[in-house]
Amino acid sequence: MKKIAIILGVLSVIGFNSCKKCAECHAAAEINGTEYELMELGEYCKDDLTSIEANGYPITETLYLTADGDSLPTPFTGVAEVHCGEDH
């Protein structure tokens, strides 16, 4: 009986964790009709995920390079779009 209780406990913990809505996010900007990934932002969950996707990510320094180290055609400063759980 203890084994069954332990198994059910482990399954419930795994089940609750899989329901947690989280995603890896990155800041992006469209420059001259092309979208560039500016920086990785890390993982956001639940309300934070909803908020950052809706409001964007403020970039206060001037960026000259993409997240991959390539030169941007135009330096970027301002609020970047945020994409989460997507490959670009």
Q: Domain of 26?
A: 21-84
* pTM metric for this prediction: 0.70
Q: Tokens for 50, please give them.
A: 């909803």
Task: Give the torsion through C-alpha atoms of 86, 34, 60, 55, to 10 deg.
Answer: -50
Distance in angstroms (rounded) separating the CA atoms of residues 36 and 20? 29
Cβ(27)–Cβ(70) under 8 Å?
no
5 belongs to a structural domain: no
Q: Grade residue 1 by pLDDT with cuts at 50, 70 and 90.
A: low
Overall domain count for the chain: 1
pLDDT tens digit string along 10-23?
444 444 445 569 99
25 belongs to a structural domain: yes
Q: Grade residue 2 by pLDDT with cuts at 50, 70 and 90.
A: low
4 belongs to a structural domain: no
Q: How far is CA 83 from CA 17, 51, 72, 87, in A?
A: 22, 12, 18, 9
pLDDT tens digit string along 32-46?
999 999 999 999 999
